Amino acid sequence: MMGQGGMGQTMDDAMMHHMGPAMRKVMLYTPQHLLARKDALGLTADQVTGLTRLRDAAKAAEESAENEAQAHMNEGEQAASAPKPDTSALKVHFQAAHNAMWKAHWAMIASAAQARAVLSDAQQVKMQTWADSMQTWMQQHRQMMKPGESH
């Protein structure tokens, strides 16, 4: 799942799918999401520069952590494929891969928190309104997709 999730999803898409509503709201503030909405938010040149720096730093941290995780997954796979698998070695690599992915997640969460601070109060209200409408749509969509229940 490094870099690409199942069925062509990016890691961000896969993680967003498994997060609860509160964490999804946090992730809406990632620098890349804010930069994608720069015109709608009316971002200033300074805000775009700051968000671009945050995005690039977070991307570098995520890629580094993903590479570390992949290396440990590969080593864990080798340990598991040995004629007599060493479960201690497998555990070490599994835990190291898990910790590396935690670093990647943390880089995204930290960049989202820092990016949100770049926005003005009015821009934060716009994002909150958009997040609330998206949450409402998702709840309605989930309700419609439950067959056999009254709507």
What are the pLDDT digits (tens) for 48-57? 999 999 999 9
CA distance linking residue 74 with residue 67, whole number of Å: 11
What confidence category does residue 2 fall into, taking pLDDT thresholds of 50, 70 and 90?
A: very low
Is position 66 within any domain?
yes
Q: How confident is the model at residue 6 (pLDDT cuts 50, 70, 90)?
A: very low
Does 39 map to a domain? Answer: no
26 lies in some domain: no
Query: Would you give the distance in Å from CA 48 to the centre of its chain?
Result: 20
Q: Residue 80: which domain range?
A: 60-112
Burial of 90 (0-12, 13-18, 19+ CB in 10 A): middle
Contacts of 5 (CB under 8 A, 6+ apart): 11, 13, 14
In the block, tokens 């590479």 appear at 67
What's the total number of domains in the chain?
Answer: 1
**The predicted structure's pLDDT at residue 18:** 57
The C-alpha atoms of residue 138 and residue 140 are separated, in whole angstroms, by 5
Q: Is residue 43 part of a domain?
A: no
Q: Which pLDDT belongs to residue 125?
A: 94
